[in-house]
């Protein structure tokens, strides 16, 4: 492996690895959702993207509203604990917004799609979907007969994105990436992708990674670019760095319901700022409200 | 509803916690009669002991002090499909005569009147958990004879049985509402009236469901929440009324 640093700006990472028409994954289950990357994709005006995520969350609602998406592949499209994603609903219910193509699974199905993609298999079997209407509306959910037991098993096709964008607590300049807290499907999504952009709260020395190798979820050998973007997951969160901005999620219900209010938000906080640093300057109270409390673990002995 | 649902959980059981009211009920059970309840969240927290009521099922408080945090591939394959979940806990926009649950669309799938969030983990929970509990407010809109879309399967109705379809779990066995508790009749697969809240009559419940609701020979009476449950719900678990609405 070359020792050349992979650290680039968000602007350069998106310009280089996210193209019109690409299949794009910004993963993270509630935790570590990279809003900074979504905002940069909106600023650069990407179009016709196939956006994949288990939970589209507010970030894909914003990208749908901004016209980046042609298709959404997902398993739960809501605002967790609050209500709806209204830009998504307008686009699916056909209320004055351009129609969005959807391809829908359950969480287990999406997880299995990434697992197949990561292992470079064509599909993944799972004991699921009997008695549900999901296979009726999604013909890509099929069945296979087990060659050993004769059991009919559901199958889902591999998902191999053009690029996955993974937010994490820390990485070194090569992209050896450590995550703790909720892990979602980031590992599977990253290994399934042709390209991987890692976005981190902190850039650390390789020695920090080597001191605790079990915490490395994504190795440098699959990483194309490393972006250092503190608070880059806000209003999502980073365990040990900052809490989820639940107030922002609650406020999104009214904001996304009103198309004009949503556009004003995008103008003020996304299109109207040049980068993440400018986004943070507009909200100087974030650290006071959300900075994580100390809860350190003791560490272990890796000696032999 | 939260306290009635909480009482259904047995101490020491492994429960897969869904979003919304189930979240509150599980944390109430843990704070009262079931301190050794093992809370598994689809986000990957196993044995969570949240110090605050999680706003979402991916809240950071689920991680701090939990027994294990794993990836979601492990949650669905090694825990749920492996058969380790005793109780699944689901909500729903529509629940029908046979316990089928809809969280996908109102109206047609192609041209929905209301697009709902979709399955999340609900489809596989209803298939794999050894038993599934459902919480939903009673109303004709929520309890039609047939759901518009089967997101999470109940008991098949006139079609194939769960056993014929090789579903490992028993499916939705009990529906906890704000007026009564419904149970699945093992013979017919239909939801029937099992217990009434104080002051509620069977006719009140029948008026809120879209099919001729059968009744157990002697429906029970649901005890109202006691002082401890009320104090925990209002002052400790949900002081901001995230889930306790109305």
Q: Are A157 and A128 in contact (CB under 8 A)?
A: no
Overall pTM > 0.80? yes
Q: Which position has the higher pLDDT, B104 or B235?
A: B104
A166-207 pLDDT, tens per residue? 999 999 999 999 999 999 999 999 999 999 999 999 999 999
Task: Give the pLDDT band (50/70/90) at residue B159.
Answer: confident
For position B239, what pLDDT does the model report? 86
Min Cα separation A2/chain B (Å) = 30
- Which of B116, B17, B80, B162 has its CA nearest to residue A111? B80
Q: For testing the chain A interface, which of B18, B68, B72, B172 should be mutated: the one with the most A CBs within 10 Å? A: B72
B42 is catalytic: yes
* CA–CA dist A200, A269 (Å, integer): 21
Q: Are A71 and A101 in contact (CB under 8 A)?
A: yes
Domain ranges of chain A: 10-106+160-279, 107-157
Q: Is the pLDDT of residue B108 over 70?
A: yes
Share of chain A above pLDDT 70, in %: 99
A37-78 pLDDT, tens per residue? 999 999 999 999 999 999 999 999 999 999 999 999 999 999
Residue found by looking up tokens 């890692």 in the block: A198
**Cα maximum dimension of chain A:** 65
Architecture of domain B2-237: 3-Layer(aba) Sandwich (3.40)
Residue B56 to residue A127, Cβ atoms within 8 A? no
Average pLDDT over residues A13-18: 98
A101-120 pLDDT, tens per residue? 999 999 999 999 999 999 99
- Assess if CATH 3.40.1080.10 describes domain A10-106+160-279: yes
CB contact burial B72-105 (16+ within 10 A = b; e otherwise):
bbbbbbebbbeebbbbbbbbbbbbbbbbbbbbbb
- Which of A33, A113, A94 has its CA nearest to residue B108? A94
CB pairs under 8 A between A and B: 172
Nearest CB partner across the interface for B43, out of A30, A132, A134: A30
* CA–CA dist B48, B50 (Å, integer): 6
For position A1, what pLDDT does the model report? 56
B162-199 pLDDT, tens per residue? 999 999 999 999 999 999 999 999 899 999 999 999 99
Share of chain A above pLDDT 90, in %: 95
Residue found by looking up tokens 């969280």 in the block: B103
Q: Is the pLDDT of residue B120 over 90?
A: yes
What residues are paired with B175 via a beta bridge?
Answer: B134, B182
């Amino acid at each position: 492996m070359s020792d050349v640093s992979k650290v680039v700006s968000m602007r350069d990472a998106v310009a280089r690895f996210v193209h019109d028409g690409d299949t794009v994954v910004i993963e993270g289950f509630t935790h570590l959702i990279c809003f900074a990357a979504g905002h940069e994709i909106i600023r650069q005006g990407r179009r016709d993207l196939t956006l994949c995520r288990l939970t589209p969350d507010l970030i894909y609602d914003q990208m749908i509203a901004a016209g980046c998406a042609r298709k959404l592949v997902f398993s739960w499209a809501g605002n967790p604990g609050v209500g709806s994603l209204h830009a998504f609903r307008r686009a699916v219910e056909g209320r004055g917004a351009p129609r969005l193509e959807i391809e829908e699974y359950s969480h287990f199905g999406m997880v299995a799609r990434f697992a197949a993609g990561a292992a470079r298999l064509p599909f993944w079997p799972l004991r699921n979907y009997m008695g549900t209407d999901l296979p009726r509306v999604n013909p890509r959910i099929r069945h296979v007969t087990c060659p050993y037991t004769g059991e009919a098993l559901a199958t889902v096709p591999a998902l191999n994105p053009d690029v996955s964008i993974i937010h994490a607590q820390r990485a070194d300049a090569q992209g050896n990436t450590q995550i703790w807290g909720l892990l979602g499907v980031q590992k599977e999504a990253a290994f399934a992708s042709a390209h991987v952009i890692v976005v981190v709260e902190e850039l650390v020395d390789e020695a920090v990674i080597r001191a605790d190798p079990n915490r490395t979820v994504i190795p440098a050998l699959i990483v194309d670019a490393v972006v250092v973007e503190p608070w880059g997951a806000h209003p999502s969160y980073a365990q040990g760095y900052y809490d989820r901005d639940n107030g922002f999620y609650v406020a999104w219900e009214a904001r996304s319901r009103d198309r004009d209010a949503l556009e004003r938000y995008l103008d003020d906080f996304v299109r109207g700022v040049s980068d993440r640093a400018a986004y943070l300057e507009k909200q100087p109270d974030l650290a006071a409200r959300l900075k994580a409390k100390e809860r350190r673990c003791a560490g272990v002995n890796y000696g032999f | 509803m939260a306290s009635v649902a909480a009482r259904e959980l047995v101490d020491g059981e492994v429960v897969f916690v869904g979003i919304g009211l189930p979240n509150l009920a599980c944390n109430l059970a843990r704070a009262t009669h079931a301190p050794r309840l093992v809370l598994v969240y689809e986000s990957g927290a196993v044995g969570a002991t949240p110090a605050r009521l999680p706003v979402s099922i991916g809240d950071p408080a689920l991680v701090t002090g939990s027994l294990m945090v794993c990836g979601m591939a492990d949650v669905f394959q090694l825990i749920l499909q492996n058969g380790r979940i005793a109780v699944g806990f689901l909500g729903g926009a529509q629940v029908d005569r046979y316990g089928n649950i809809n969280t996908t669309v109102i109206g047609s799938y192609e041209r929905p009147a209301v697009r709902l969030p979709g399955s999340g983990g609900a489809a596989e929970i209803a298939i794999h958990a050894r038993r599934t509990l459902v919480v939903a407010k009673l109303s004709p809109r929520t309890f039609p004879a047939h759901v518009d879309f089967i997101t999470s399967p109940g008991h098949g109705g006139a079609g194939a049985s769960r056993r014929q379809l090789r579903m490992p779990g028993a499916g939705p066995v009990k529906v906890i509402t704000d007026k009564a508790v419904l149970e699945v009749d093992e013979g017919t697969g239909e939801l029937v009236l099992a217990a009434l809240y104080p002051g509620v009559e069977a006719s009140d419940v029948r008026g809120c469901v879209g099919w001729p609701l059968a009744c157990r020979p002697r429906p029970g009476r649901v005890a109202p929440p006691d002082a401890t449950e009320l104090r925990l719900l209002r002052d400790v678990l949900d002081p901001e009324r995230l889930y306790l609405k109305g």
